[in-house]
Amino acid sequence: MNLVVDLNSDLGEGAGHDEEILDLVSSANIACGFHAGDHTSIFASIQLALQRGVALGAHPSFPDRENFGRTEMTMPPAEVYSAVAYQIGAFHALARAAGGRMNHVKPHGALYNMAVRDRALADVIANAIFALDPKLILFAPVGSHLDTAATELGLETASEVFADRNYLADGSLVPRSRSDAFVHDPTEAADRIIRMLSEGKVRAVDGTDVSVLATTVCVHGDNPQAVAFVREVRKRLELEEVMIAAPASSP
């Protein structure tokens, strides 16, 4: 296998093992304060990522610290636009202040999951990103409304898959409320990622195969097993001679 793939993780969320994960990934999606973190943690996370040569990404959320950004919300489009623009704008400024540059944006939690299936919400997010910097890359599942909205606007996308989450037959993630939402074995997770890369398939919880495209692989940083997962996935990728590198936008 001779491929290039990005390995990303959601960080700056207070999980306590960010430094270990940053030694293993190529992209960091850093919480922007609306579901976790604040200006101090954002800047510190950016500095840690820069020290390790890890690409910087903003991880904006609905304003929902109480529920860690995982509760679906209905907000007027203008409020969603300003919330996303505010978060990525602040992140952009802190990245510049630290001597770095934001490379990508990955919405968090409910904002991400809703935009995957809601074209109107996806358009709002894509337009907020494009207005700040049209060269930013948006992480989204291939073929989702979020992916399509970004592509039609002219943003580049990275097709995201998840190492530590199970899939439904329609290609969406199994809801966290279900007992089968997570993959618990790092070796199984690594096997699944290799199959996604080599065959473009993942086995859904009902036993059917779902078509996927993987250019960036996420391991959630708040998973207690996150370090073991990232380490095992990275080891398997290297054994298969897959190059691990962050996506780069066109000049």
Summarised one tens digit per residue, pLDDT across range 59-106 is 999 999 999 999 999 999 999 999 999 999 999 999 999 999 999 999
Using one digit for the tens of pLDDT, what is the confidence trace for 45-64?
Answer: 999 999 999 999 999 999 99
Structure tokens at 144: 């989702």
Residue 76's H or E segment, with its range, is none
Spatial separation of the C-alpha atoms in residues 7 and 233, rounded to whole Å:
9
Spatial separation of the C-alpha atoms in residues 138 and 180, rounded to whole Å:
28
Spatial separation of the C-alpha atoms in residues 148 and 167, rounded to whole Å:
20
Contact criterion met (CB below 8 Å) for 221 and 28: no
Using one digit for the tens of pLDDT, what is the confidence trace for 225-249?
Answer: 889 889 999 999 999 999 999 999 7
Q: Which residues pair with 31 in a beta bridge?
A: 59
DSSP one-letter string for 180-194: TSB---HHHHHHHHH
Spatial separation of the C-alpha atoms in residues 111 and 91, rounded to whole Å:
17
- Spell out the alpha helix ranges (H) of the chain: 18-22, 39-51, 77-97, 109-117, 119-132, 145-153, 186-199, 226-239
What whole-number percentage of the chain has pLDDT above 90? 92
- For tokens 């529920």, what's the residue? 67
Q: How many CB atoms lie within 10 A of CB 150?
A: 27
Query: pTM for the complete prediction?
Result: 0.96
Average pLDDT, the chain: 95
Half-sphere exposure of 99 (CA within 13 A, CB side): 7
Q: Which of 93, 123, 106 is nearest to 28 (CA)?
A: 106
Q: Which of 17, 84, 91 is nearest to 57 (CA)?
A: 91
Q: Which of 15, 22, 16 is nearest to 57 (CA)?
A: 22
All structural domains of the chain, each given as residue ranges with its CATH number in brackets, are 4-244 (3.20.20.370)
Burial class (CB in 10 A: 0-12, 13-18, 19+), 235: middle
- Strand duo 209-211 + 201-203: pairing: antiparallel
- Strand duo 209-211 + 55-59: pairing: unpaired
- At 1 the pLDDT is 61
